Amino acid sequence: MANIQKVLIVDLDGSLIKSDMLFESFCSALSEDFKIIFRILKYFFLGRAQLKNFLYKNSNIDIKTLPYNEKVIKYIKNHKKEKGYTVLVTASNYKFAEKISNHLGLFNEVKGSSEINNLKSNNKKNYLITRFGHKQYDYIGNSKDDIPVWQSAKKAIICNTNKALIKKCALVNQNWEQITNNNSNYLIKNYFKALRPYQWIKNILVFLPILAAHELTFKNIGEGLIAFFSFSFIASCVYLINDLMDLKADRAHPRKKLRPFASCSIEILYGILTIPILFTSGILLSLNLNYSFTLLLIIYFLITTFYSLLLKRLAILDIFTLAILYTIRIVGGGIATDVSISFWLLAFSMFIFLSLAAIKRQAEIIDLIKRNEKKAIGRGYFIEDLPIINMISICSGFISVLVVCLYVNSPKVLILYDSPWILWCACWVLLYWIININFLTNRGEMNDDPIIFAIKNKTSLICMISFSLLFLLSANL
């Protein structure tokens, strides 16, 4: 290497890319086949090198859409302009490193972990000294495992790390430079975004049983609030699972690629560690009610997790699952407050939520057409399925209106409502809203979840308020 004047060694995980290929491949492998988790545990005990090789073989990562660090890439390009020699050296599996190197076209050499050698920390340092010599290379890294490598480097280049590590680096190598920050100031904001608290609005459905039964007591409202937050914690837990399983699909989407884990504004590891915390919090809170509610909450978690891992890829079955999950919230509200749920409420909820689930898929297919794509990544739908999905949405919506009409004409209404005739006006409002939201979706104006969209959209909000007021005006309170 005597003829090489300047050697730049670049780390991969957390440096060249903002993510970590170990966790990327773990999420990808689990997304491809959720049953693989049992085989992963076996390789976990065999050592990191074998685990990384196993995950590489069973993952399906799109190298092109990985969250690359543009500042690091710019630094590498400037080094090459000065006739410098660039090498990608990483603890990740060498096959990942080779694919990334071929994609970027920036490196003269590539070295990564093999099946028997985990090229990390002192192992990496020893390899670099053997290959290039002590103090004969500059090194870009970002973690405490890079301290031994910085110590033997001519220049330590710090990337995407914290102040404490910068101080440690400066102690082992006075010739250091920082080229990018880790944006820790935005960590809490991004964490909050990843939990999707705006989606908690759906959990207001737990109050529907006490509203329908006209049993708005302080006790029921208090128990309803506990049920609300229990569902919310579990829902956020599953949203994290869903986002981690959907990394590949999200990065290929013009809007979803900005999600915290897809863009790596939050490390994947943090998401994995947060999942059990949220789950435990939801379950412990639910124990303040009754064991039946806790059992239902666990069933809700299992169904939503199974949906994230498999069911969302199965056409039609996915929208049935979504409808069931919405209805479980209503059932949970009844169990939490010990209020019986009528057949009419359950029938209405199943059909209205089946309609909304179909609208959600309808919006995604419309988005595919706009982007000139044939099939959604990670979903079971093609653009040719749009007419069928549209039909399911409209028919289910109309049946939900029919259920309300039959309910208005039932003997039970005379017990709960002084002026049942006002409820016929509510039926017309509901019918208008279903037709209107289908129109808006078909025109490509809906990009959100239907319930979230309904809250944001002025016309939908007016319809929802009018529908509620009409029921209130006719009620025998």
Measured CA to CA, the distance from residue 420 to residue 476 in angstroms comes to: 10
Domain identity same for 110 and 243:
no
- Among 143, 280, 298, 269, which residue's Cα sits nearest to residue 194? 269
Rounded mean pLDDT of 316-344?
A: 91
Is residue 205 situated within a structural domain? yes
Rounded mean pLDDT of 285-311?
A: 92
Q: What does the pLDDT read at residue 158?
A: 92
Residue 358 and residue 396 in contact, taking contact as beta carbons nearer than 8 Å: yes
331 residue type, one letter: V
Residue 298 and residue 175 in contact, taking contact as beta carbons nearer than 8 Å: no
182 residue type, one letter: N
Domain identity same for 115 and 29:
yes
Helix (H) or strand (E) holding 377: none
- Among 456, 446, 458, 259, which residue's Cα sits nearest to residue 362? 446
Provide DSSP, 99-141: HHHHHH---SEEEEE-SS----THHHHHHHHHHH-TT--EEEE
Helix (H) or strand (E) holding 8: strand 7-10
Query: Mind listing the pLDDT tens digit for each residue in 63-118?
Result: 999 999 999 999 999 999 988 999 999 999 999 999 999 999 999 999 999 888 88
Domain identity same for 331 and 429:
yes
State in Å, rounded, how far the first CA of the chain is from the last one.
88
pLDDT band at 1 (very low <50, low <70, confident <90, very high): very low
Is residue 331 situated within a structural domain? yes
Domain identity same for 113 and 259:
no
Q: What does the pLDDT read at residue 231?
A: 95
pTM: 0.83
Query: Mind listing the pLDDT tens digit for each residue in 342-394?
Result: 888 889 999 999 999 999 889 888 888 887 877 766 677 888 888 999 999 99
Helix (H, G, I), strand (E, B) or coil at 417: strand
Is residue 368 situated within a structural domain? yes
Domain boundary among 142, 167, 182: 182
225 residue type, one letter: L
Report CA Rg, the chain.
Answer: 27
- Please, which residues have CB within 8 angstroms of residue 331's CB and are 6 or more apart in sequence? 296, 341, 346
Domain identity same for 116 and 212:
no
Measured CA to CA, the distance from residue 12 to residue 23 in angstroms comes to: 13
Please determine, for residue 188, whether its predicted confidence score (pLDDT) is greater than 90. no
Domain boundary among 182, 209, 227: 182
Please determine, for residue 2, whether its predicted confidence score (pLDDT) is greater than 60. no
Domain identity same for 262 and 113:
no
Handedness of CA 452, 455, 458, 461 (dihedral sign): positive
Q: How does the average pLDDT of the chain come out, rounded? A: 88
Rounded mean pLDDT of 2-15?
A: 82
Measured CA to CA, the distance from residue 429 to residue 470 in angstroms comes to: 9
Identify the CATH number of the domain in which residue 223 sits: 1.10.357.140
Q: What does the pLDDT read at residue 181?
A: 62
Domain boundary among 182, 211, 233: 182
Is residue 91 situated within a structural domain? yes
Domain identity same for 196 and 324:
yes
Handedness of CA 41, 262, 186, 179 (dihedral sign): positive
304 residue type, one letter: T
Domain identity same for 344 and 464:
yes
Is residue 2 situated within a structural domain? no
Domain identity same for 276 and 162:
no
The total domain count for the chain is 2
Question: How many H-runs (helices) and E-runs (strands) does the chain carry?
Answer: 22, 6
Please determine, for residue 3, whether its predicted confidence score (pLDDT) is greater than 70. no
| Per-residue tokens: 216 | 């708005």
Q: How many residues does the chain have?
A: 477
Rounded mean pLDDT of 325-347?
A: 90
Query: Mind listing the pLDDT tens digit for each residue in 128-145?
Result: 999 999 999 999 999 999
Helix (H) or strand (E) holding 172: helix 163-172
Residue 417 and residue 476 in contact, taking contact as beta carbons nearer than 8 Å: yes
Domain of residue 363 covers 187-474
Please determine, for residue 200, whether its predicted confidence score (pLDDT) is greater than 60. yes
Residue 294 and residue 359 in contact, taking contact as beta carbons nearer than 8 Å: no
Measured CA to CA, the distance from residue 252 to residue 17 in angstroms comes to: 17
User: Which residue reads 């390009």 in tokens?
Assistant: 77
- Among 117, 176, 116, 110, which residue's Cα sits nearest to residue 149? 176
Domain identity same for 195 and 172:
no
Is residue 1 situated within a structural domain? no
pLDDT band at 182 (very low <50, low <70, confident <90, very high): low
Residue 20 and residue 267 in contact, taking contact as beta carbons nearer than 8 Å: yes
Is residue 376 situated within a structural domain? yes
Q: What does the pLDDT read at residue 34?
A: 81
Q: What does the pLDDT read at residue 4?
A: 55
Domain identity same for 202 and 58:
no
Domain identity same for 176 and 218:
no
Identify the CATH number of the domain in which residue 96 sits: 3.40.50.1000
Is residue 393 situated within a structural domain? yes
Q: What does the pLDDT read at residue 221?
A: 93
Please determine, for residue 477, whether its predicted confidence score (pLDDT) is greater than 80. no
